[in-house]
Structure 1
Amino acid sequence: MFEDEKDDKIYNLIISQGTDMKNEYGQFTEKLFSKVDFLWKESISGSYAHAGESFYSKVDRIILLAGLYKDNVELFENLIEASKKYEIPIVLVRPLGVEEVPELLESKAATIVGWNANCIIDSIKHADELI
């Protein structure tokens, strides 16, 4: 079910950023870029709390990098609220090298994934089936 599926969809993602001491954002996007048959783009807003329906209606998935949660709580809260309001599935990515994720995030996620590129892509593609 991984790469044998032909999928021409361009997935519009929000990927959590912010304070990132371990460069998890950079490492995560490298995983996405490594899968050349996975088409995606990223939507970024100066304020996710104030971005409205016209912004969120184009977003397919919200990716939360759990390793960034502690230093970016407000950002995560804004993205979780948007996920709920606009019915956008959350793909929660475990912190690098750690299996545990914060319970609050786990309860909001459609799916939780580690750092395997194939698993990440599969989770993004099928997150809406899991909510």
Structure 2
Amino acid sequence: MAYYNLFISHSWSYEDSYEGLIELLDEKEYFTYRDYSVPKDDPVHTSGTDEELYEAIKNKIELCNVVLVLAGVYSTYSKWINKEIEIAKEEFEDPKPIVGIRPWAAERISDKVQENSDEIVGWNSDSIVSAIRNLT
């Protein structure tokens, strides 16, 4: 069985969305992944500089097959979500594919995420997993 290495982009202000996405991925049968996100309790968040956090995120994304980004309108205003998109698209010889995930019941999504995603999917396990598999 293949493992998918994922970086799940998120703003710590939207922890519930991140946890909900993990639940969606975990409930999908025959889908195994590793989450390379930088956890909120990582010391680089609390005692590191912005440059150290950028490098930590870059090092994690480098190991990944796909970057998942919650595509809510708030993503447009998140400094770190925007930096994660920049890293995925500009820091590597082969840009990392991005799956934009439309939050549950969202009518609008972030223009920044829409412009940079290789695929936009709804808030359900089948769509998300299908996009990951299609892009790897």
Taking structure 1 as the reference length, the TM-score comes to 0.79
Instruction: Please tell me whether residue 60 in structure 1 is matched to residue 54 in structure 2.
Output: no
CA distance in 2, matches of 1:124, 1:11: 8
Give CA-to-partner distance per residue, 1:42-71, whole Å, 9 cap, x none: 113345521376543311111001235156
Unpaired runs of 5+ residues, structure 2, are 39-43, 45-51
Match of 2:97 among 89, 104, 113: 89
* Mean Cα deviation higher: 27-36 or 50-59: 50-59
CA contact under 8 A between 1:24 and 1:96: conserved in structure 2?
A: no
CA distance in 2, matches of 1:41, 1:91: 16
Unpaired runs of 5+ residues, structure 1, are 1-7
User: What is the aligned partner in structure 2 of residue 19 from structure 1?
Assistant: 13
Instruction: Please tell me whether residue 35 in structure 1 is matched to residue 40 in structure 2.
Output: no
Percent identical among aligned pairs is 25
User: What is the aligned partner in structure 1 of residue 121 from structure 2?
Assistant: 113
CA distance in 2, matches of 1:60, 1:19: 25
CA distance in 2, matches of 1:60, 1:111: 14
Instruction: Pick the structure with more helix per residue.
Output: 2
CA distance in 2, matches of 1:11, 1:126: 12
Q: Secondary structure at the match of 1:69?
A: helix
Taking structure 2 as the reference length, the TM-score comes to 0.76
